[in-house]
Structure 1
Amino acid sequence: MNIKKIAISVALICLSSSSIAVEYKIGGFIKASGRIASGEVPFDHYYFGSGNIGEDSTKTQFSAQESRLNGSFKEGDITGFVEIDFVGSSQGNGNVSNSYSPRLRHAYINYNGFTVGQTWSTMVNTSAFPETANLGGPLIGENMVRQSLVRYTYENWQFALENPNTFGTDINGKSLSKDEDSIPDAIARYNLQGDWGNISFAGLVRQLSPSENEDEVTFGGSVAGKIAVGSKNDVRFTFSHGNLGRYFSTGGVFDIYYGEVETTTGGTIAYRHFFNEDLRSTIFYGHSVSDIQKMDRSHYGINIFKSITPKLSLGSEIGYYSVDDKLNQYLPADIQVANGGSVYGQLVLQYNI
């Protein structure tokens, strides 16, 4: 995302009469979106890992809740960043005011190779996200987690301890207690980059507790990146496999399902093509499957974006989100697993601050 920042340099006078330059920046964007979706997957502002199937319906919604505001500072070797948006707020409704509560996306400090605070998980390579009108793109096939962490970066390596949080059910299908989340998740990542683009290799190790008296060490891995095609075009991809749970598919897969540690496989692929300096298009596909839940979901689409000015872009997108889940061993045999999908069209106007 190309965001032009407004920089303000402020000179602070210390007691020792020496001056320390502190640079502040304000950024973000204003995004207006119109979306119409039709099908068996209930309408949502964007498609994430949800697989609920309902009656066939059609809905249109206009919204500005994806708009963001961020600020950063730099003082010597210390930098900090904080960002909010308004997505997912339960406060607003369409009756009168359409008010939305701000939510914290990022709040972290960098110093001497350490990153401390809330930001993207080390499993996430943001350059692999395709440019889409749908927020986040094909989330069902992406690593998409923001959380509190402590990360150390040395040259091409990154090592992190991140917030543990179990997402799943016990052997009776009831939500697991989070009281056993005592050991941080550990992630190691290696980054390769050059004029050709970048590729990251990330591995996740964590302790999960499928039951009260059982602990299990689990593993997951991911390869993601962005590869240049010619001078401006690019291919973006993610491939992930293992006991990834909540780190993958944005809520589509449990860490633990009926007392068993889940295994997931999936990814995304996208190609972005520039027709000229101001006109570009992306075609994308995301897919994920799981071993125990028998989840099988896909999201694909195509869009076109026009840069009206260097800071103002107009985009349109059409796509399809499908659910093809299978009957798993923990569901009663007489239950019919509902499958279906929804097609959507979206128009966005975005001004980068």
Structure 2
Amino acid sequence: MKTFKPNFKLSLLAAAVTVSMPAFANTNQQAEIDSLRQEVQALRALIEQQQVQQTQTSQAVAQIQEKSPVAPATSVATSTGTAFKVYGNVRLDASYQTEGSAVDRLYNNINKVPLEGNGEASERFKSTLAATRLGMDVKSQLNGQDVGGKIEVDFLGGANFDNLRIRHAYMNYGNWLIGQTWSNFAVPDYMPETIDALGYVGGAVTRTPQLRYTQNLGSDTSLVLAAEDPKDKISNTRIPAVTARLNHQINEDGRISLRALANEKRTDADESMAWGLGLGLQYKFAPSTTLKADYYHVKGDSSFVSWTNPGISKNAAGEILDENEFDSITVGLTQQFNEQWRGTLGYGYMKSDVSDRYKTGAGLNLLEVNKELWQGWANIFYSPTKPLSFGLEYVYGEREAVVKAANGSNTGEDNRINAVAIYNF
């Protein structure tokens, strides 16, 4: 809006004319002076009106600015509109192992703990910072729609869990996701909380390269379809595994997830089809009490659910003799005592149907093929402030192999105390 500024020269001229009126007091001059005086008065009235309008406009603009919401600031934003958020943690894990797995292994290895009297790693203290994590989220706009990405790494790679590895690396646009993240079939959402970075038997912590599509079927239900590369070392991959997951929010306290898997297993001489079903439940019985449970039934696959026997057994010619079939379940109750303290009681179990034909497969170490696995645990977490968390946990578990060792034992034991200290940023 253009503002009107008073002409001070004109005002001075009008004043001079008014002062000099007595010197030119004749009829014509008086008429001209009266006319000039009226024009000056009209001009002054216009100036005053413009000043009032300008003041009112300024006040209105100030009120609008005061009421307008302020957009939250992002961590880092570029001139192109791309926002970056860096996050992660520094994590120290420690364990005192009464009986358990190999000397260089701190995290869960229940399916391969030594059988009694066969080289157990007893009375050992272990520690590592390998689960320390660093990640970055990226977000921008493309054709008016959000485009996002994530990169997350830790140091749990390699045979001894001490090398940098990719946890998550993906991009998403609309309903599509491309990259590596949690498997669409073996999701960790319904595993009870543990201190062990790999979780316990009955659950899964699998991440796969995948192409994923999500479709909302309503305000409380969604369907997720994915083609995944399970990177199964015992199968010559020809086509990706196909997975489906149906998520449903029961109410504000509970949700369920139904999953399905189809995965071709192929050798140089043979092929078969693996399949599986999964069902997860989370339910909050009270504001501070949460139940989590997860169940799987799988035949012919070992690349999605953790701590299983090899999915297929084959002879020296590569012909598939039989498939491993198993049921597994994990269930746990978490209690939030107050803002700083919480604890979990959990139990996990896996039972495999191992045929005699399966046992004759070439290359199988039958001392590491299991009939049953189970683990129980109890933990407590203390968070004095938001970035810090300290935890202590006791876990006991056993495995039963399908054959006995030379000393007659077919049972291995996992018995340890875990501790963790985490600084999140």
Shorter chain as denominator, the TM-score bin is: 0.7 to 0.9
Deviations 1:27-46 (A, max 9, x none): 11111122111125434211
- Give the aligned partner of residue 80 of structure 1: 149
- Give the aligned partner of residue 311 of structure 1: 387
1:111 aligns with 2:173: yes
Q: Please say if residues 206 and 305 of structure 2, whose CA atoms lie closer than 8 Å, have aligned partners that are also in contact.
A: no
Equivalent residues, number: 318
Separation in structure 2 between the aligned mates of residue 337 and residue 198 of structure 1, nearest angstrom: 43
Q: Match for 1:273 among 325, 335, 338? A: 335
- Give the aligned partner of residue 213 of structure 2: 152
Separation in structure 1 between the aligned mates of residue 283 and residue 420 of structure 2, nearest angstrom: 26
- Give the aligned partner of residue 262 of structure 1: 324
1:286 aligns with 2:351: no
Amino acid paired to 2:212: R
1:295 aligns with 2:379: no
Alignment of 1:3-152 (within 5 A): 7-13=74-80, 21-43=81-103, 44-53=105-114, 54-56=118-120, 57-76=122-141, 77-90=146-159, 100-138=162-200, 140-152=201-213
Q: Detail structure 1 runs of 4+ shifted over 6 Å in the superposition.
A: none
Task: Assess, with a 3 A threshold, how the Cα gap between structure 1 residues 125 and 40 changes in structure 2: closer, same or farther.
Answer: closer
1:206 aligns with 2:263: yes
Separation in structure 2 between the aligned mates of residue 124 and residue 312 of structure 1, nearest angstrom: 29
Separation in structure 2 between the aligned mates of residue 247 and residue 128 of structure 1, nearest angstrom: 19
The secondary structure found in structure 2 opposite 1:350 is strand
Amino acid paired to 2:262: V
Separation in structure 1 between the aligned mates of residue 380 and residue 296 of structure 2, nearest angstrom: 28
* TM-score with structure 2 setting the length: 0.70
Task: Assess, with a 3 A threshold, how the Cα gap between structure 1 residues 318 and 334 changes in structure 2: closer, same or farther.
Answer: closer
- Give the aligned partner of residue 253 of structure 1: 309
Amino acid paired to 1:304: I
Larger radius of gyration between Structure 1 and Structure 2:
2
Amino acid paired to 1:163: D
Task: Assess, with a 3 A threshold, how the Cα gap between structure 1 residues 111 and 187 changes in structure 2: closer, same or farther.
Answer: same
The secondary structure found in structure 2 opposite 1:324 is strand
Greater helix share, 1 or 2?
Answer: 2
Separation in structure 1 between the aligned mates of residue 248 and residue 181 of structure 2, nearest angstrom: 21
CA shift, 1:161, in A, is 0.5
The secondary structure found in structure 2 opposite 1:349 is strand
Greater strand share, 1 or 2?
Answer: 1
Q: Please say if residues 203 and 305 of structure 2, whose CA atoms lie closer than 8 Å, have aligned partners that are also in contact.
A: yes
* TM-score with structure 1 setting the length: 0.83
Separation in structure 1 between the aligned mates of residue 100 and residue 388 of structure 2, nearest angstrom: 34
Q: Please say if residues 182 and 207 of structure 2, whose CA atoms lie closer than 8 Å, have aligned partners that are also in contact.
A: yes
Task: Assess, with a 3 A threshold, how the Cα gap between structure 1 residues 166 and 87 changes in structure 2: closer, same or farther.
Answer: closer
Deviations 1:51-82 (A, max 9, x none): 24143422101221111000011112210001
Q: Please say if residues 111 and 307 of structure 2, whose CA atoms lie closer than 8 Å, have aligned partners that are also in contact.
A: yes
The secondary structure found in structure 2 opposite 1:295 is strand
CA shift, 1:189, in A, is 0.8
The secondary structure found in structure 1 opposite 2:205 is coil
CA shift, 1:302, in A, is 0.2
CA shift, 1:195, in A, is 1.1
Using CA pairs under 8 Å that are at least 6 residues apart, name the structure with larger relative contact order, 1 or 2.
1
Alignment of 1:326-341 (within 5 A): 326-327=402-403, 336=408, 338-341=410-413
CA shift, 1:321, in A, is 2.4
Separation in structure 1 between the aligned mates of residue 331 and residue 83 of structure 2, nearest angstrom: 38
Separation in structure 1 between the aligned mates of residue 296 and residue 334 of structure 2, nearest angstrom: 21
- Give the aligned partner of residue 237 of structure 1: 293
Structure 1 alignment gaps of length 5 or more: 1-5, 14-20, 93-99, 168-175
The secondary structure found in structure 1 opposite 2:237 is coil
Deviations 1:92-127 (A, max 9, x none): 8xxxxxxx4211111000111111011111013332
CA shift, 1:196, in A, is 1.4
Separation in structure 2 between the aligned mates of residue 314 and residue 261 of structure 1, nearest angstrom: 42
Task: Assess, with a 3 A threshold, how the Cα gap between structure 1 residues 37 and 294 changes in structure 2: closer, same or farther.
Answer: closer
